[in-house]
Amino acid sequence: MNRLYRRVLLGLGFDGKDGHVRLSKGKNFRLLGGSEKTHKVMQDKAIRFNEQLTKRKKTLDDINDKEFHEIAREVGLNVQEDKG
């Protein structure tokens, strides 16, 4: 797949007050900011999301919206589902 159009999970933390710039990059995710605790929580959830994809033998590009939200709920991500 063309790298320009690959899907990724994006996590943004806004509670970092200690002056550190936290950036994590992994398979299917990019995380920026947050306190040490918040950033760690984002990392854990992104990793667990990837584990669920692996378990289903799918990639982020392969899943539909329903599957995305199902996995998100399983790993504790706060996502708003489109009601329309």
Give the per-residue SS3 of the chain. Answer: CCHHHCCCEEEEECCCCCCCCCEEEECCEEEEECCHHHHHHHHHHHHHHHHHHHHCCCCCCCCCHHHHHHHHHHHCCCCCCCCC
pTM reported for the whole predicted model: 0.85
pLDDT digits over 16-65, tens only? 999 999 999 998 999 999 999 999 999 999 999 999 999 999 999 999 99
pLDDT at 69 over 70: yes
Domain ranges in the chain are 3-75
Q: How far apart are CA 33 and CA 80, in angstroms?
A: 21
